[in-house]
Structure 1
Amino acid sequence: MNIFIGEGVIFDSLCPEEIEIGNHVHLTMNCIILTHNLDTSSPNMKWEKGHVTIGDNTFIGAGTIICNTVNIGKNVIVGAGSVVTKDIPDGEIWAGNPAHFIKNRK
């Protein structure tokens, strides 16, 4: 499996079973992976559960926050301090808040 999990990485405690991590993934320090969010459209503001998938050979930069229900593809790089709010296709580099496409990996 060969996964690197850096110091201070936080996995959502509400639904940790909804996190799926591939082979040869690097989660560097202080990353946060969330698998739930607050449904603010509901009058009772209920929690919604989601699923996070991180594909093989992916690097997640320090301090990145991954929000619920996203699919991060294989061979992806996410820049440090990014906030991932939508799916990232295979072989791309993304960064920013919110994270956006930077370029394809060669």
Structure 2
Amino acid sequence: MEMTTDLSAFNTGTYKAGPKWKVLSWYFVNYYIMNSAFPWPMGLKSRLLRLFGAKVGKGLVIKTKVRIKNPWRLTIGDHCWIGESVWIDNLEDVHIGSHVCVSQGALLLTGNHDYTQTDFPYRLGKIRLGDGVWIGAGSIVCPGVSCGSHAILTVKSVATRDLEPWQIYAGNPATFVRKRTMKTNA
């Protein structure tokens, strides 16, 4: 007998979003404030993230239309930028270091499905962005990927494997392009 995918058999396995009251409350905050086109004050957004369990450093710049699945699974360091329409789909922990830029339309994706099994179960993996990382506009960081200190993932690229520190990656899947160098301010 030929095996086929059976989505009617899907279940979330060991994944639990959190207490129902918290998930439901966050749904409204996420929809009406975080994912809104209205430019709510960034300080308010930081406070709401903290209220729902995120660890957020000082100086967070968080633009409009940002979606965050589970703030209680999010850590953001100091002086980070989260651009317009970023989606942090954190079914698993996401750790963003300090001085990190996640550009507009980027996706941090901690969940996928195991296509080798008929019931299509979740495959989850933590994401870690080291200090000074830049995730380009429209790029995707896949489950289980770590981006080393000051790595760059260029525009519309897909990180399916770890990015080494101080290196620039491009493409789908992203491959090494060159070393990142920085000039001193004159």
| TM-score, with structure 2 as normaliser | 0.54
| Superimposed CA distance per residue, residues 27-81 of structure 1 (whole angstroms, 9 cap, x where no aligned partner) | 0100001001100111211011110000001111100011100010001111100
Q: Look at both structures and tell me which one has the larger radius of gyration over its CA atoms.
A: 2
Any gaps of 5 or more consecutive residues in structure 2? 1-77, 182-186
Q: Normalized per residue, which structure has more strand? A: 1
Q: Does 1:3 align with 2:80?
A: yes
- Aligned equivalent of 2:172, options 94, 97, 100: 97
Any gaps of 5 or more consecutive residues in structure 1? none
What is the aligned partner in structure 1 of residue 161 from structure 2?
86
Tell me the distance in 2 between the aligned counterparts of 1:88 and 1:12. Answer: 20
What is the aligned partner in structure 2 of residue 33 from structure 1?
108
| TM-score, with structure 1 as normaliser | 0.94
Tell me the distance in 2 between the aligned counterparts of 1:44 and 1:60. Answer: 33
Higher relative contact order (CA 8 A, sep 6+): 1
Q: How many residues align?
A: 104
Tell me the distance in 2 between the aligned counterparts of 1:78 and 1:55. Answer: 12
Identity of aligned residues (%): 37
Q: CA deviation at 1:82?
A: 0.3
- Aligned equivalent of 2:146, options 71, 75, 80: 71
Q: Normalized per residue, which structure has more helix? A: 2
What is the aligned partner in structure 2 of residue 22 from structure 1?
97
